[in-house]
Amino acid sequence: MQNLIKRILGITVIVILIVLAFKYCQFKKEDDSDLEYNTNLIQQQILNVGKLVVTEGHFSEVVTYKNQQKYFLDMISFEKKALIVVNADVTVAYDLHQMKYDIDEKNKTITILNIPKEEIKINPDIKFYDVEQSKLNPFTGDDYNKINKSVKANLAKKIENSPLKKNAQNRLISELSKILILTNSMGWTLQYNGKTIESEKEFTEDLKL
């Protein structure tokens, strides 16, 4: 009788261990499956964010160009001048296809390693008015190159002092915040520049653009 009881107890213990092992394996499988699903979801969101963010602007300016050629010990001079009207379309773009990141599945952490710098493109439309020149001092290709270079330099200064770059950065942060929202909702952590990012405000403060 005692042997029978021992045998039943032994079988019961074995069954319980098998059930526990099965449940553990099932839990482990579900946990791994969950982690894989979350990782794929995050990667898809990063792909969605990975696009060209473009902010456009328009600038205008009027420039007077003058140049003087002197001869005979500066006793005779020939001047050329023109009124230049510039209309320029400007774009500030962030190519987020170039963003580098690392996904740590074990610690449920995404680390943004690098955010590309902005690309500024200036396309000026230059028109000349009231052109005055002489045969001894005519407008040449060198003049047009100088004017074009000067115009772009002036426009670059205007862009720095305009809201265009700030607007572009705001759009960039808005795109990156989509990753932050997803990671927060899934219990993951987003890091950048050695810090954990918990809000859009921290993104704005910690982004080195």
10-residue mean pLDDT series, the chain (209 residues): 53 51 45 59 69 85 75 58 89 89 87 90 87 75 85 87 88 87 86 86 70
CB atoms within 10 A of CB 156: 12
> What is the reported pLDDT for 208?
55
> What is the reported pLDDT for 69?
62
> What is the reported pLDDT for 87?
92
Amino acid at 3: N
**Rounded distance, CA 169 to CA 203, Å?**
11
> What is the reported pLDDT for 8?
53
> What is the reported pLDDT for 126?
87
> What is the reported pLDDT for 36?
62
Sign of CA dihedral 134, 136, 140, 146: negative
**Rounded distance, CA 125 to CA 152, Å?**
11
Distances (CA, A) of 154 to 124, 146, 148: 11, 12, 10
pTM listed for this prediction: 0.66
DSSP SS3 for 48:
helix
